[in-house]
């Protein structure tokens, strides 16, 4: 039993946890800045860049993928500005047109190009390839974790995502003060030299890096869900930033573990003969956690309560005003 788990489930589960945690940590600042759909936008924009990089280079190396995604992002920004100015539409409408066009172009490229040999097609772009990331060299069981030769045979997605998660944590630690000040008061951040503009750009770059690194393993669905659901759930649990980050990590880990287990065994418990997509089930569990937080979270009425507290008390009418009012009523 232990050997089967190490070979078949340990690496996919670890990759799922790393993806969920890295996206959730960055998603907290997107939620607080009211930019939650940036993750969705990045996932739409990078797809044609990733496919184009594979068509040009013939490999799915991380460097080529990041370069293709970066070129696609720059082109998207330029097209958004062109559509906004030439079409004289609001920025939201321009972004919607460009993002959906890029995603459709990426899907079309996937359908027309021969990418099946590297597991890069429409199904893997949406749902990922999590279940197939098995560790055949782990046949020795838990002892394989101490075997350098077995560790060298790990799927490349695992060390890549571990490095990305470490980079995300390091980014938050290094730019913590600038991120916090710029998130809650950009004007004050500018006045004290906290550089909100460059830090915001760096945050978007980290979001893009996390999305591209996770794209090959888990697809776009779980990436979009993890940027939004765990941070939004955590926001309903507390009004303090550090506890919110902790809650989001907890929700991300629970979503990854519970989603992976339910994807493999849930249909069997219900009498079905086949399992379901792990990435889709992880996103579903994250959505269920958000729904529970909306129903039972201690801060679910926090915004309304805070608004009541900020509302000034009604002014009491003076004796002269009361006299005039009484006179008018008479």
pLDDT recorded at residue 280: 85
pLDDT recorded at residue 134:
83
**11 alpha carbon, distance to own chain's centre:** 20
Pick the CATH number of 2-128+149-304 from 1.10.3470.10, 3.40.50.1980, 3.30.70.940, 3.40.228.10: 1.10.3470.10
What pTM was computed for the model? 0.80
What local confidence, expressed as pLDDT, does residue 149 receive?
Answer: 86
Run means of pLDDT, 10 residues per run, the chain, 330 residues: 79 91 92 80 78 76 74 78 79 77 81 60 65 81 84 87 93 90 80 79 84 76 87 92 94 94 84 81 93 84 52 51 42
Query: What pLDDT score does 48 carry?
Result: 82
pLDDT of residue 216: 67
Q: What is the pLDDT of residue 1?
A: 56
Spans of all domains in the chain: 2-128+149-304
């Amino acid at each position: 039993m232990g050997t089967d788990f190490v070979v078949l489930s340990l690496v996919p589960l670890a990759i799922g946890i790393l993806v969920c945690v890295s996206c959730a940590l960055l998603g907290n600042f997107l939620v607080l800045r009211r930019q939650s759909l940036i993750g969705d936008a990045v996932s739409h924009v990078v797809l044609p860049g990733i496919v184009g990089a594979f068509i040009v280079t013939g490999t799915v190396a991380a460097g080529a993928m990041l370069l293709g995604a970066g070129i696609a992002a720059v082109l998207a920004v330029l097209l958004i500005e062109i559509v906004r100015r030439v079409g004289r539409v609001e920025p939201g409408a321009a972004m919607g047109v460009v993002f959906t066009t890029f995603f459709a172009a990426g899907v079309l490229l996937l359908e027309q190009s021969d990418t099946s040999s590297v597991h890069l097609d429409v199904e893997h772009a949406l749902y990922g390839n999590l279940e197939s990331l098995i560790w055949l060299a782990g046949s020795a069981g838990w002892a394989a974790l101490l075997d350098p030769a077995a560790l060298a045979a790990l799927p490349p997605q695992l060390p890549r995502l571990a490095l990305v998660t470490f980079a995300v944590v390091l980014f938050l630690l290094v730019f913590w003060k600038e991120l916090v000040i710029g998130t809650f008061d950009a004007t004050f951040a500018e006045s004290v030299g906290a550089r909100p503009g460059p830090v915001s750009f760096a945050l978007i770059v980290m979001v893009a890096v996390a999305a591209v690194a996770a794209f090959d393993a888990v697809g776009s669905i779980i990436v979009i869900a993890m940027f939004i659901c765990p941070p939004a759930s955590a926001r309903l649990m507390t009004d303090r930033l550090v506890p919110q980050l902790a809650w989001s990590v907890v929700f991300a880990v629970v979503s990854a573990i519970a989603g992976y287990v339910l994807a493999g065994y849930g249909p069997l418990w219900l009498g079905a003969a086949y399992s379901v997509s792990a990435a889709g089930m992880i996103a579903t569990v994250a959505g269920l956690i958000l729904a529970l937080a909306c129903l039972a979270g201690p801060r679910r009425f926090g915004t309304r309560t805070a608004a009541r507290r900020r509302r000034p008390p009604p002014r009491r009418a003076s004796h002269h005003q009361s006299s005039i009012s009484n006179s008018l009523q008479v």
